[in-house]
Structures are given as structure tokens and as C-alpha cells.
Chain A
């Protein structure tokens, strides 16, 4: 089973679903446009026609290769294998493997992101075609995805603010290469803050241009009437970027396979994720329990009460920014790479300042996140396969439960009340 896209952690998904689909009747071209635009997005070329064309070329070349292999294939099994090779570089036959070898790292990452999207699309297709077993699997798979990561079934759908996904890795890695070519003082194992800030700004800019997510709303400076609003706005923006940087840097240097992850060289690739993305959404919360969606974690009610203040309706809209990496999860990662015996909860890790980086002074990242979350009066949750941790920015209380909806990786969500 391909270890690289272990988004759900279920060894039977998504290839198992794929195996149920009749590969002969499946037409890759019908989806080529959409896949190309997704791929295009991943490599940050969405703004130019040239970029789109190149992405289409790239896709078509791969589809041609698959078609050739399909012709050569004699039985259904090899047919499946060749189909699989479309999306998973680990199973690619020789000619395309050579092609992969010549790819740049960022292209490879986008290739993998694309694979993930395809898997989800495959599951959708299976559902649509009514394969009983596949449909069952698909529902299970989608449920897990939605519970764990809020991955929507449609990616990069900018018409709705609840369904957007921004893949971060290729843009961050590309930025790193650019920055290193300009300056020799870029650290080896650290992500410059400039890059994490750009990644978030870029995502928010795109959402804002579609009038979906106005960042000014959440930093309380909409229609800044005077200088005071600007001061408050800029303070909140700086704080939010500080939280953003901490999350992105941790995922990039511990959770996923990246140029700044020092553990990659001395361990199996299965210990790291290949996909890292952020999603934004807006959720309503009311005092009536029944009307709240499952997205809200335990302990949110207290926070909501403080956040609402004197509002009579008890209803509040929250902007939610979620980061998802498909690594091992904080605890498992520390256990493996931090040489820390025994099981630790996330709050213990924060308190004891445990770190997989053997440098005096490291391990304060969690404190930093909490400090700025408190400054923003926001709500923070960190979910891993082992536990779910939440931090209330109003009274700075924290709680942790052993239950978790996440099967693999670390999911960090920041809830910001919309004013």
C-alpha cells in the first residue's frame, strides 16, 4: 500500500476504492482540465495562461504514458497497476520513473498533491457509478476525511468559503529555493518567517479577491475609522502571523518531507507526511447545543460565552483557519525523534518544552503559539491521533482529551470570533 498518501491512515483507502472502478471505461481526459487547474494551483501558476498550458501539457503527457502502458497490459491486474502509476510515483514503471527523476522537488510535491485529489475524485466516481462495495468504502473514507481534517469533497472551490484548500508545501519550498539563491544567510533547518507570512497572505488574498474571507474582519479593523483601528489591526495581524509561522515551521521541519526537515535524511519516509495544506472556513456557534456542527471541539462553550460577552442572541460567527500535515503527529514524532521515553500529552510537551531539536532554547514554540493566541483572544486546538488539546485565549485555560478524530498527522485550528 502506498504510504505516501496516508491522509486517512486507512490501509484500504484510497487505492482499494480505485480497484473497484472499471479502468477501461474510465476516461482520464474528462477530468484533465480540472486536475490540471489543481496542479496549476499547487505550483502557483494559476494567474498566467502559460502556466495553465504547461500544466495541461504535463497532465496530457502522463495520460499518454498511461495509455501506452494500458495497451501493453494483458490482464486486468497489470491494467490496474498501470492506472495506479498515474498517480503514485512509487509504483511508476521505468519510463515515467526517469521522468520523475528529472522533476524538481516542488513539481514532485504538486504531483503528489494531485495524486491525493485524484484519489478523492476516484472515490466520488465510484460512488456515482454505484459500485456497492466502493460506495461503502467511499462514504467511510469521506466521513473520516471530513471528521479529521475538514477536507471538503471539492477542492479549491472558490465559490464557497467553506470549501477551499491551499497546498502549502510547493510554494514554501519554491520560496526557500528562491531565497537561498538570493542570500547565503538563510538557515538550513528553519523556515524564514517571510515565507510563512507570504503563504498565508497569498491564500487570504485569493479568498478576499473572491469576497469570501476578509482578513480585516478578523483583525478587527474593518473600515478603519482612525489611527487607533490601524494600531489594533496591525498588532493583531502581527500576532496572527506569529501563530501562523509557528504552525507552518513546525509542520515543515517535523511533520512533512521538506528541505528543512533534518530528520528525513536519517529515517524512513513513512514517518513523514507528503501533504500539508491549510483551509479556512466560517462556522456559526450558538448556545443551543443541537444546532452546532461537529466541528466545534470540547471546551468551546466556555470560550464562546466569553467571546459573546453581553450579546443577547448568543450567536457568533467564527473564522476558522486549519492547518493539516500528514506526519506522525506531535507525540509520535517526539517519541521517535526526540528520544523521550513514555507517553506525553500535548500539554505536557508544552510544559516540559520537549523538542526533537537538540538545541538549548528550542521547544518554546508552543508557548509562543499560546502567547499570541491569548493576545488575539482566539481559541486554539491541536489534534493528533493520540489526543485533542484546546486552549482558550480569553482565560488562558487549557484542556486535553484522549479522544481524537484525527487518524494521522497534526491538525491545528485557530478560531477567531468575527466582530
Chain B
């Protein structure tokens, strides 16, 4: 599999203004508006240049530092909170600049442009010097990029805790695992919000209410709501979070039920944002509550899931079972009843 490195290209609001003006320029063709399209076209080219140049220079610096290799595929992701169906010409400008300037800065690295249009992912191969991408990854290229990026997040030492099966972790769903994943810590990793929102986009069409299953990923829910507003161009998305693991908390169950009801009353779509699905208990509990409150438009999305323990019957972004298996872990631990094994004193439990 190719080694991917992701570079986010953040776009300021002025660019969108430029796009709106370009639409006005189209109208001016019909004599509806008089506008100086040449000036705006020039401004757009200039901004596309500065964005592409910054991104390409950043890649060069990373290569100098040894953070990325000579053949690492550079994935330039256009601002995830922008629906690029309305910014086609600007996107094209950035593409052109990345092809001309970017490929000169990093000649040996393949370049891919990644963006979304109307909640669907799109990619364009901009530069592929040795036909590296075409040969190895072209089928399901987007899926491979997603896997690579999500894997990068999960393999961070701040996120995955494990002690080679010498210690067990007590999970919120009251089971024991030989590893513990704290997704909340991904929030401090650079570009996580852009990446998680981008990969969640196919599930976010029409969503107006985000509900985080726990406070630990509440910032992610808040960011999703903000980015969803920008993406849809409508300032309607809201967010809330449960204060503890809601299957065991009557208060949080009541809160969730209330949020579901409110969302249904407004005619919006509800999304339960789950950090990690392993036992499926949370999904089951949500299904019960969901039926009770008659919310029709609602779904659950897990950022990560371990499909080796439970196959989720809801949406998820990345299955970590293969990754866990490679590290010699088995997931849910089959512990003998009665607590600690007498024969193995070195075994520790971490709750």
C-alpha cells in the first residue's frame, strides 16, 4: 500500500466571496450586471497561487525534515468545510498551481487533490511521476487514503493504550479489553477535525443535530456542527453531548430522548456521534430510545469500530480489527469469573 501524507489547504471566507462574484460575472455575460471580471479572476488566481505555494512549500519542508519520504504520496485536501461544487473554477486554479509549482518543488512525490462535492468524495491525480498511484492503488483510491489517515490517528501513542496483554482495561460498557482506545485524545492531533469531518461527509447530508455519546468527544461534535453550517450554507446545526455513558445513566438517557424529540419536531436529522464501537451496547441502547421517541431521521456514526468483537449495524468510518490483530491483541478479554487470576500475579487491571 502507498504511504500517504495529508496536507490540508484551508481557505478563507474571502475566496467564497470570489466565487460568488464569479457567478455574478456569468450573469454579466447576459448584460444583467456590470462587473470587472478580469480583476476578480486575477485575484482568484493570486489566492490560488498562494495556497498552492504554501502547501507545496510545507511538503518540501516536511521532506527536508525527513517526516515524509521521496515517494510518499502527497494528498492535498481542500478545505473540508467547503462544498466544492460551488467553487469549481477556484479548485481548478489550485489544481493548476499544484501541477506547475508543486510538482517542481516535490518532483518525486506523487500528488493527489482530494475534495468533496455535495457530500461525496472526489480525487484527482495531479502528478504521478513513476505511475506509482496508477499501478498500486487506483481501484478504490479514496478508500485507501481514508484507511491510511484513520490508521495514522489510531496508532498514535496518545490514543491507543495497550500493554501486550499483560494488563486489561475496564471499558465504559463494563467489559474487559486488552487495549483501550481514547478517541478524545485525537482531538489534540493536528488536522483531526478536518479529517474526521471530511471522511464523515457521506453520512452527514441533512444532519442538523449532533449528539456526542460522551463529553470526551464533545469538541468533535461542536466542530462538526460548525463545519456542517459552513458546508451546507445554512446556520441550523446544533450540538449536545452526554455527560456519561448513557446506557447506564438515566439522566443522559433523558437528555438524549429530549434532543431526539426536539430534532424531530424541527424536522431535522439527528446524528449520534460515537467514538468507538466494540460491544454494540451503546448502539442497542440508542435503538431502544430512538424507537421510543419516534424519531424517523436519525442515525449513529462511530468514528472507529472493532468488527471482530461485534459487527456494527450502524455506520462507522474505520474498522480497527485488522490493526489490533497485527499488534497481537484480541479485543475483549475472556477473563475467568471471580476477578484476578491467581496463577498470574503479574496481571494488572486498569479501570
What are 15 residue pairs bridging A and B, where the CB atoms are less than 8 Å apart in the complex? A228-B35, A228-B39, A231-B14, A231-B15, A235-B43, A236-B43, A239-B50, A242-B50, A360-B106, A360-B107, A361-B104, A364-B101, A375-B42, A375-B45, A375-B46
| Chain A proximity mask over B60-71: 1 for CB below 8 Å, otherwise 0 | 110111010010
- Report the separation of the CA atoms of residues A368 and B45 in the bound assembly, to the nearest whole angstrom: 14
Taking a contact as CB atoms under 8 Å apart, the answer to whether B40 and A228 are in contact is: yes
| Chain A proximity mask over B76-114: 1 for CB below 8 Å, otherwise 0 | 000000000000000000000000010011111000000
Q: Which 4 A-B pairs have the closest CB atoms?
A: A235-B43, A238-B50, A235-B46, A375-B46
A232 and B39 contact, Cβ closer than 8 Å, known pairs A227-B21, A242-B53, A364-B104: yes
Q: Which residues of A contact B (CB under 8 A)?
A: 185, 187-190, 193, 227-228, 230-232, 234-236, 238-239, 241-242, 359-362, 364, 367-368, 371-372, 375-376
- Considering only CB atoms, which chain B residue lies closest to A228 in the complex? B21
Taking a contact as CB atoms under 8 Å apart, the answer to whether B54 and A193 are in contact is: yes
Taking a contact as CB atoms under 8 Å apart, the answer to whether B61 and A190 are in contact is: yes
**Min distance, Cβ A225 to any Cβ of chain B, angstroms:** 13
* A190, A231, A368 interface centre (most CB from chain B within 10 Å): A231
Which residues of the partner chain B approach A238 to less than 8 Å between Cβ atoms? Answer: 46-47, 50
Instruction: Determine whether B49 belongs to the interface, using a CB cutoff of 8 Å to chain A.
Output: yes
Instruction: Determine whether B269 belongs to the interface, using a CB cutoff of 8 Å to chain A.
Output: no
- Considering only CB atoms, which chain B residue lies closest to A371 in the complex? B49
Taking a contact as CB atoms under 8 Å apart, the answer to whether B49 and A239 are in contact is: yes
Taking a contact as CB atoms under 8 Å apart, the answer to whether A187 and B21 are in contact is: no
Which residues of the partner chain A approach B50 to less than 8 Å between Cβ atoms? Answer: 235, 238-239, 241-242, 372
Which residues of the partner chain A approach B54 to less than 8 Å between Cβ atoms? Answer: 193, 242
- Considering only CB atoms, which chain A residue lies closest to B24 in the complex? A228
Taking a contact as CB atoms under 8 Å apart, the answer to whether A361 and B60 are in contact is: yes
Taking a contact as CB atoms under 8 Å apart, the answer to whether B47 and A364 are in contact is: no
A188 and B65 contact, Cβ closer than 8 Å, known pairs A238-B46, A361-B104: yes
Instruction: Determine whether B18 belongs to the interface, using a CB cutoff of 8 Å to chain A.
Output: yes
Instruction: Determine whether B12 belongs to the interface, using a CB cutoff of 8 Å to chain A.
Output: yes
Taking a contact as CB atoms under 8 Å apart, the answer to whether B14 and A361 are in contact is: no
- Report the separation of the CA atoms of residues A239 and B17 in the bound assembly, to the nearest whole angstrom: 18
Taking a contact as CB atoms under 8 Å apart, the answer to whether A361 and B106 are in contact is: yes
Which residues of the partner chain B approach A371 to less than 8 Å between Cβ atoms? Answer: 49, 53, 101
Which residues of the partner chain B approach A375 to less than 8 Å between Cβ atoms? Answer: 42, 45-46, 49
**Min distance, Cβ A190 to any Cβ of chain B, angstroms:** 5
- Report the separation of the CA atoms of residues A360 and B129 in the bound assembly, to the nearest whole angstrom: 14
- Report the separation of the CA atoms of residues A376 and B35 in the bound assembly, to the nearest whole angstrom: 20
**Min distance, Cβ B57 to any Cβ of chain A, angstroms:** 8
Q: Which residues of B contact A (CB under 8 A)?
A: 12, 14-15, 17-18, 20-21, 35-36, 39-40, 42-47, 49-50, 53-54, 57, 60-61, 63-65, 67, 70, 101, 104-108
Which residues of the partner chain B approach A231 to less than 8 Å between Cβ atoms? Answer: 14-15, 17-18, 21, 40, 43
Taking a contact as CB atoms under 8 Å apart, the answer to whether B18 and A361 are in contact is: no
- Report the separation of the CA atoms of residues A371 and B51 in the bound assembly, to the nearest whole angstrom: 13
Which residues of the partner chain B approach A234 to less than 8 Å between Cβ atoms? Answer: 12, 14, 43, 47
Of A227, A241, A367, which one neighbours B17 at CB under 8 angstroms? A227
Which residues of the partner chain B approach A227 to less than 8 Å between Cβ atoms? Answer: 17, 20-21
- Report the separation of the CA atoms of residues A362 and B47 in the bound assembly, to the nearest whole angstrom: 22
Which residues of the partner chain B approach A235 to less than 8 Å between Cβ atoms? Answer: 14, 18, 42-44, 46-47, 50
A232 and B49 contact, Cβ closer than 8 Å, known pairs A190-B64, A361-B105: no
**Min distance, Cβ A226 to any Cβ of chain B, angstroms:** 10
* A234, A368, A371 interface centre (most CB from chain B within 10 Å): A234
Which residues of the partner chain A approach B12 to less than 8 Å between Cβ atoms? Answer: 234
- Considering only CB atoms, which chain B residue lies closest to A227 in the complex? B17
Q: Other than the known A227-B17, A241-B50, A360-B108, what 8 A-B pairs have Cβ atoms closer than 8 Å?
A: A187-B61, A187-B64, A228-B36, A231-B17, A231-B43, A232-B43, A235-B43, A242-B50
**Min distance, Cβ B67 to any Cβ of chain A, angstroms:** 8
- Report the separation of the CA atoms of residues A406 and B64 in the bound assembly, to the nearest whole angstrom: 33
Taking a contact as CB atoms under 8 Å apart, the answer to whether B65 and A372 are in contact is: no
Which residues of the partner chain B approach A372 to less than 8 Å between Cβ atoms? Answer: 46, 49-50
Taking a contact as CB atoms under 8 Å apart, the answer to whether B46 and A236 are in contact is: yes
- Report the separation of the CA atoms of residues A170 and B221 in the bound assembly, to the nearest whole angstrom: 42
- Report the separation of the CA atoms of residues A232 and B37 in the bound assembly, to the nearest whole angstrom: 11
Which residues of the partner chain A approach B17 to less than 8 Å between Cβ atoms? Answer: 227-228, 230-231
Taking a contact as CB atoms under 8 Å apart, the answer to whether B46 and A239 are in contact is: yes
Which residues of the partner chain B approach A368 to less than 8 Å between Cβ atoms? Answer: 53, 101
Which residues of the partner chain B approach A360 to less than 8 Å between Cβ atoms? Answer: 70, 106-108
**Min distance, Cβ A223 to any Cβ of chain B, angstroms:** 17
- Report the separation of the CA atoms of residues A197 and B36 in the bound assembly, to the nearest whole angstrom: 30
- Report the separation of the CA atoms of residues A361 and B15 in the bound assembly, to the nearest whole angstrom: 28
Taking a contact as CB atoms under 8 Å apart, the answer to whether A230 and B46 are in contact is: no
- Report the separation of the CA atoms of residues A231 and B46 in the bound assembly, to the nearest whole angstrom: 11
- Report the separation of the CA atoms of residues A235 and B45 in the bound assembly, to the nearest whole angstrom: 9
- Report the separation of the CA atoms of residues A236 and B57 in the bound assembly, to the nearest whole angstrom: 19
Of A359, A364, A376, which one neighbours B63 at CB under 8 angstroms? A359
Which residues of the partner chain A approach B20 to less than 8 Å between Cβ atoms? Answer: 227
Of B35, B49, B65, B107, which one neighbours A361 at CB under 8 angstroms? B107
**Min distance, Cβ A413 to any Cβ of chain B, angstroms:** 21
* B18, B57, B107, B108 interface centre (most CB from chain A within 10 Å): B57
**Min distance, Cβ B166 to any Cβ of chain A, angstroms:** 30
* B20, B47, B108 interface centre (most CB from chain A within 10 Å): B47
Which residues of the partner chain B approach A193 to less than 8 Å between Cβ atoms? Answer: 54, 57
Taking a contact as CB atoms under 8 Å apart, the answer to whether A364 and B105 are in contact is: yes
**Min distance, Cβ A419 to any Cβ of chain B, angstroms:** 12
- Report the separation of the CA atoms of residues A241 and B49 in the bound assembly, to the nearest whole angstrom: 12
* B18, B39, B50 interface centre (most CB from chain A within 10 Å): B50
- Report the separation of the CA atoms of residues A368 and B64 in the bound assembly, to the nearest whole angstrom: 19
A362 and B60 contact, Cβ closer than 8 Å, known pairs A187-B65, A188-B65, A228-B40: yes
- Report the separation of the CA atoms of residues A190 and B63 in the bound assembly, to the nearest whole angstrom: 12
Which residues of the partner chain B approach A232 to less than 8 Å between Cβ atoms? Answer: 39-40, 43
- Report the separation of the CA atoms of residues A152 and B309 in the bound assembly, to the nearest whole angstrom: 75
**Min distance, Cβ A387 to any Cβ of chain B, angstroms:** 25
Which residues of the partner chain B approach A190 to less than 8 Å between Cβ atoms? Answer: 61, 64
- Report the separation of the CA atoms of residues A193 and B43 in the bound assembly, to the nearest whole angstrom: 21
Which residues of the partner chain A approach B40 to less than 8 Å between Cβ atoms? Answer: 228, 231-232
**Min distance, Cβ B28 to any Cβ of chain A, angstroms:** 13
A230 and B14 contact, Cβ closer than 8 Å, known pairs A187-B65, A359-B60, A360-B108: yes
**Min distance, Cβ A304 to any Cβ of chain B, angstroms:** 21
- Report the separation of the CA atoms of residues A145 and B338 in the bound assembly, to the nearest whole angstrom: 87
Which residues of the partner chain A approach B61 to less than 8 Å between Cβ atoms? Answer: 187, 190
Which residues of the partner chain A approach B49 to less than 8 Å between Cβ atoms? Answer: 239, 242, 371-372, 375
- Considering only CB atoms, which chain A residue lies closest to B44 in the complex? A235
**Min distance, Cβ A94 to any Cβ of chain B, angstroms:** 41
